[in-house]
Amino acid sequence: MPDQPSLPALPVTFRPGRTRAVLLTAAGAIFVVITVVAVLLPTLGPGERLSFVFTAAMLAGVLCMLSRPKVVADEAGVTVVNITVRRQLGWAEIVQVNLRVGDPWVFLDLTDGTSLPALGIQPGIAKQHAIEDARTLRALVESRSVAEPEQQQG
């Protein structure tokens, strides 16, 4: 198949690189600007300056949390790291990898009937890269899900 990517060596990490770079750059810039403003404003007392810096750190922290999502595929399975949640899945637990037109990120259909969002592959800024990553993850899931039961029987 021409759309079938060659399988990468494991472990492989999928993450939205451009989005992550934008978020981390913005976090650093916001922290620096607000901290500099706190230091340069002559009318602020020490407590007010500290509250400015604390607010800057909180805003930067939120942006860093938003940059956290990734999907890591290794020999044992797939680890999905979203904003606040981390979930380890065995290869056999994943039924299908979906990235439909208009989806904000990849969804993993699981054997328990649920669907898990995988924010580490999202077509926001780099749509073509996300499509390639989704195809690669889909190929890995298909190859590992088929191979895993054969290995268990043998």
CB atoms within 10 A of CB 28: 13
- Model confidence at 126, in pLDDT bands (50, 70, 90)? confident
- Has residue 135 got a pLDDT over 70? yes
pLDDT at 5: 57
CB atoms within 10 A of CB 31: 20
CB atoms within 10 A of CB 64: 15
Phi, psi of 8 (to 5 degrees): -80, 160
Q: State mean pLDDT over 94-121.
A: 93
Q: How many residues does the chain have?
A: 154
CA distance 107 to 89: 13
- Has residue 89 got a pLDDT over 90? yes
Instruction: Indicate the burial class of 7 (C-beta count within 10 angstroms; 0-12, 13-18, 19 or more).
Output: middle
The distance from CA 146 to its chain's CA centroid, rounded to whole angstroms, is: 26
Phi, psi of 24 (to 5 degrees): -70, -35
pTM of the model: 0.80
Among the listed residues 68, 81, 67, the one whose alpha carbon sits nearest the alpha carbon of residue 25: 67
- Model confidence at 146, in pLDDT bands (50, 70, 90)? low
The type of residue at 31 is F
Kindly state the tokens that stand for 141.
Answer: 């899931």
pLDDT at 154: 43
Q: State mean pLDDT over 42-60.
A: 96
